[in-house]
Amino acid sequence: MNRDIERVLLSEQEIAEKVKALGAQISKDYADKTPIIVCVLKGSFIFMADLVRAIDVPCTVDFMSVSSYGAGTTSSGEVKIVKDFDQSVEGRHLIIVEDILDSGRTLSYLMKTLKARGAASIALCTFLDKPERRVVPVEVTYSGFTVPDAFIVGYGLDYDQKYRNLPYVGVLKPSVYEK
């Protein structure tokens, strides 16, 4: 896998430090609440696992799966809930955990849907933000890193479902997806 990476954008250490800081901030902000930390599969699973361990206030977790991309590198604009919540969100404080905020379509749709279900509050914690690509405005509560509009993989992010298990974030060589 490493051979397909042009350059490392975020090292394991940089990521670990950032996740720790995000967890500390969330712990402070939610000291008197028991939020539901919502993992939006699949890309967020690694960030989610590290983030919840950096949070030291009581919380519960849940998982959603939405699909917006096919095997390609650009958003189709379609958002579909493939796997929904296992519990009611009414009156609960939600923190939606995403690996990357791109066009904003997925998050804008999810936040609207969860608000309509009666959540007490909804915050968004995204590991990466690509503001250059935004089509729909989204309010970000917690953001790890702002990244350029390059094709990046690793730490949960995929290309054609692969590279999610890279422990760092790297820029994919164009030769990989221009085949």
**Residues annotated catalytic, as ranges:** 102
- Under rule CB under 6 A, residue 158 binds ligand PRP: yes
Provide the Cα torsion 45, 128, 23, 122; round to 10°: -80
Half-sphere exposure of 15 (CA within 13 A, CB side): 24
- Under rule CB under 6 A, residue 69 binds ligand PRP: yes
94/12 Cα distance (integer angstroms): 27
Question: Looking at beta carbons only, is 10 or 40 nearer to ligand PRP?
Answer: 40
Stretch that binds ligand PRP, among 1-9, 98-106, 146-154, 171-179 (CB under 6 A): 98-106
- Under rule CB under 6 A, residue 93 binds ligand PRP: no
The partner residues of 146 in beta bridges, in order of sequence, read: 129
138/121 Cα distance (integer angstroms): 15
Tell me the pairing of strands 60-67 and 36-41: parallel
- Under rule CB under 6 A, residue 67 binds ligand PRP: yes
Question: Looking at beta carbons only, is 4 or 158 nearer to ligand PRP?
Answer: 158
- Under rule CB under 6 A, residue 105 binds ligand PRP: yes
- Under rule CB under 6 A, residue 40 binds ligand PRP: yes
Q: Which residue matches tokens 């430090």?
A: 17
Give the residues lining the site for ligand PRP (CB under 6 A): 40-43, 67-69, 75, 98-107, 158
